[in-house]
Chain A
Amino acid sequence: MSSLERADVARLAILARIDMTDDDLDRLSGQLNAIVDAVATLATLDTHDVPATSHPIPMANVERDDVIEPSLTPAQALAAAPQAEDDRFRVPQILGEEA
């Protein structure tokens, strides 16, 4: 498992949408590398024929019927909105584009 460079952490911070100062990045790289080293023990384990467990209690086909349930009113939905306009959530200019 590779160790994290400061540039890697900076890239991850962008992916995770968290602003970081240079100090933050320095501090975080150190701490993260320590953790990454600690979890590196997993690399010593041979698990190639072990299936992954994503749900601790195995279940399948849990579904709901196509039946309407009550929605929130726009007032309730927007009550906590940092900014709202015309019953919609207002956000500053979007730089990127829909994926």
Chain B
Amino acid sequence: MTDWIRATAAHMADALAAGEVTSVSLTQAHLDRIAAVDGDVHAFLHVNADGALETAAAVDADRAAGVSLPRLAGVPIGIKDVLVTQGLPTTAGSRILEGWIPPYDATVTRKVREARMPILGKTNMDEFAMGSSTEHSAYGPTHNPWDLDRIPGGSGGGSAAALAAFEAPLTIGSDTGGSIRQPASVTGTVGVKPTYGGVSRYGAIALASSLDQLGPCGRTVLDAALLHEVMGGHDPHDATSLRSPVPGAVAAALEGASGDLSGVTLGVIKELGGEGYQDGVKQRFEEALDAARAAGATVVEVECPSFVYALAAYYLILPAEASSNLAKFDGVRFGLRVERETIERTMAATRAQGFGDEVKRRVILGTYALSAGYYDAYYGSAQKVRTLIQRDFAAAFEKATVLVSPTVPSTPFKLGERIDDPLAMYLNDVATIPANLAGIPGMSIPAGLAPEDNLPVGFQLLAPAHEDARLYRVGGALESLLNASWGGPLAGLAPELATSAGEAAR
């Protein structure tokens, strides 16, 4: 009997199409898994059992009636709680939106529904996507299935943990500075940040508008590709969305699966490695490069000198834009209201109670960065650094097909270890941030377990803007090669989670 929850989404889709399994049983299996393990993992903030089964049943009925269905129809999915879902609670990990039921769907939510994928629920995240560990969720952290005492990454820790815990085959995340890629790295899964504008942001609760992108998360490169093609495309409701066609991610992933990397040059970014990077991380990264060479790839070093300013630029641009994006949470039209005698006092009391510390920190920082007399020095100059970073990338891509680096300098740290040191927390993002600043696409695939702690390491690939397919081809190839060396996908090596039968996730 197939343990369906451990199958890939691609396999599930094929099996559904072939009638080997029903969507209802597939969905139920995942709901059972959630009930069994999510008490410990806490990947989900809301489980949509009835809604998911309803969708599954409708898909099964249509399939039986011979209705033509989209490729992923009936394959269940989890959605990061940053995405607005009509009729389903949407909190962005914050108390200020506790209980909010949106009256509309995000464009990507609509696409998921049109793809007929049962929505298992909304996954946990750092509040308003501000964080790298999901410890800043107002609803309690998510635990890394590889070691429940450790962080699952952030801000999209829930989406990544759900995959690693086999609670969902596919999840949707959002990435502003690494919030898809970094959790993928520390949970041994695959996460992709598309080219900026490749996926509609309409209905994604905004953090930093010029950096945010929604993206696909899965356990394999092909699975991520399948979801990428569902999510991508121009949206007239998002003025920044690209008009170019959705990348041929699936074709590229299938092509890459052969493992052939001849003709491909990997550009190792000098500034994203070396000091500050954990030994085991560096080791696995080098081993991956060796595997690539053996498969025909050329490996060169590229220099991107402006990257040393990337963290500073990011921690000016993000708070500035976020401070403005979060102003709408004022207790007037929706969400929490802490009533006082005047609306001014009501707004201030509401936001004081509804926002967590990290959010307050960044909102105040952003307010400062934009305030009179400081714009040029802060936000203004940070925007210029973006230009420098784009130029460095452009020069580097002249020399390489894709650029590579470890995704994160370290393996997942323990819960509570960095929570009191914001700056230490921010260092998590140093390798992932440049891609958001430049708008180029990036992917993290598992690179193995670090020998010193047996915890997941991630391998990051970056491609030029609009060249998302390149990530899937090269990433797919590398995945094949590495899987071969491990005897199977890394996700299969995760420790068994203790199950508590009958305990439902919140």
In the complex, is A directly touching B at CB under 8 Å? yes
14 more contacts with CB within 8 A, not counting A45-B384, A56-B440, are A12-B371, A16-B364, A32-B361, A32-B365, A34-B422, A35-B361, A43-B381, A45-B385, A53-B383, A72-B103, A80-B333, A82-B336, A82-B337, A92-B342
* Known pairs A28-B361, A89-B333, A93-B343; A52 contacts B312 (CB<8 A): no
| Contact between A42 and B387, CB atoms less than 8 A apart | no
Residue of A nearest to B99 (CB): A80
A1 B377 Cβ-Cβ under 8 A: yes
CB atoms of B330 and A17 under 8 A apart: yes
Check B240 for interface membership: any CB of A closer than 8 A. yes
Number of interface residues of B (CB under 8 A): 70
Asked whether A35 lies within 8 Å of B367 as measured between CB atoms, the reply is no
Count of A-B contacts judged by CB separation below 8 Å: 175
Closest to A11 in B: B371
Question: Do B387 and A57 touch (CB < 8 A)?
Answer: no
A-B contact pairs, 8 of them (CB 8 A): A18-B352, A35-B422, A41-B309, A54-B210, A59-B240, A80-B333, A89-B333, A92-B341
* B101 A80 Cβ-Cβ under 8 A: yes
Interface positions, chain B 448-472, Cβ under 8 Å from A, are 465
CA distance A36 to B371 in the complex (A): 14
Give the size category of A's interface with B.
35 or more
- Name the B residues within 8 Å of A94 (CB-CB): 342-344
| Interface residues as binary, A1-43 with B (CB distance below 8 Å gives 1, 0 otherwise) | 1001000110011111111100010001001101110111111
| B contact set with A: CB distance below 8 Å | 100-101, 103-104, 195-197, 210, 236, 239-240, 242, 308-309, 311-313, 315-316, 323, 327, 330-337, 339-349, 351-352, 355, 360-361, 363-365, 367-368, 371, 377-378, 380-388, 390, 422-423, 437-440, 465
B368: chain A residues at CB < 8 Å are: 4, 8, 12, 32, 36
Q: Which residues of A are at the interface with B, using a C-beta cutoff of 8 A?
A: 1, 4, 8-9, 12-20, 24, 28, 31-32, 34-36, 38-43, 45, 47, 50-57, 59, 62, 64, 72, 76-77, 79-83, 89, 91-96
- In the assembled complex, which residues on chain B have CB atoms less than 8 Å from the CB atom of A47? 381, 384-385, 388
Query: Are B383 and A54 in contact (CB-based, < 8 A)?
Result: yes
For residue A81, give the distance in angstroms from its CB to the closest CB of chain B.
Answer: 6
User: What residues of chain A lie closer than 8 Å to B346, measured between beta carbons?
Assistant: 91-92
Q: Is the CB of B355 within 8 A of A92?
A: no
Main SS of the interface on chain B?
A: helix
A40 to chain B, nearest CB (A): 8
Query: In whole Å, how far is A45's beta carbon from the nearest beta carbon of chain B?
Result: 6
Q: For residue A62, which residues in chain B have a CB less than 8 angstroms away from its CB? A: 239-240
Residues of A contacting B348 in the complex (Cβ-Cβ under 8 angstroms): 14, 17-19
The answer to whether A55 and B101 touch across the interface, beta carbons within 8 angstroms, is no
Chain A residues whose C-beta falls within 8 Å of the C-beta of B423 in the assembled complex: 34-35, 38
A92 to B218, CA, bound (A): 47
Docked complex Cα distance between A47 and B385 (Å) = 8
Whether A38 lies near B103 (C-beta < 8 A) is: no
Q: Which residues of A contact B196 (CB under 8 A)?
A: 56-57
Q: Are B344 and A76 in contact (CB under 8 A)?
A: no
List A contacts of B337 (CB < 8 A).
Answer: 82-83
Assembly CA distance A8 to B368 (angstroms): 9
Q: How far is the CA of A16 from the CA of B363 in the complex (A)?
A: 7
Bound together, the chains give a CA A1 to CA B311 distance in angstroms of 17
A51 partner, pick from B333, B355, B387, beta carbons under 8 A: B387
Q: A4-B368, A92-B343 are in contact. Are A52 and B351 (CB under 8 A)?
A: no
B192 to A: closest C-beta gap in Å: 17
Q: Is the CB of A50 within 8 A of B387?
A: yes
- Cβ contact within 8 Å between B378 and A56: no
Is there contact, CB below 8 Å, between A20 and B352?
yes
Q: What CA separation (Å) do A38 and B386 show in the bound complex?
A: 17
**Is the CB–CB distance between B465 and A57 below 8 Å?**
yes
Which residues of chain A are within 8 angstroms of B343 by Cβ–Cβ distance? Answer: 91-95
CA–CA, A66 to B490, complex, Å?
Answer: 52
Query: Which one of A34, A42, A56 has the greatest number of beta carbons of chain B within 10 Å?
Result: A56
**Complex CA–CA separation, A39 to B423 (angstroms):** 11
Complex CA gap A9/B327 in Å reads 17
Using Cβ atoms and an 8 Å threshold, which residues of chain A touch B352?
A: 18-20
Residue of A nearest to B382 (CB): A42
The answer to whether B361 touches A17, judged by C-beta atoms less than 8 angstroms apart, is: no
CB distance from B276 to the nearest CB of A (A): 14
B342 close to A81 (CB less than 8 A): no
B355 and A18 contact, CB distance less than 8 A: yes
Task: Considering the complex, give the chain A residue whose CB is closest to the CB of B391.
Answer: A50
Q: Which of A8, A39, A52, A72 contacts B387 (CB 8 A)?
A: A52
Contact B312 A38 (CB under 8 A): yes
The CA-CA distance from A43 to B316 in the complex, in Å, is 12
CB distance from B436 to the nearest CB of A (A): 8
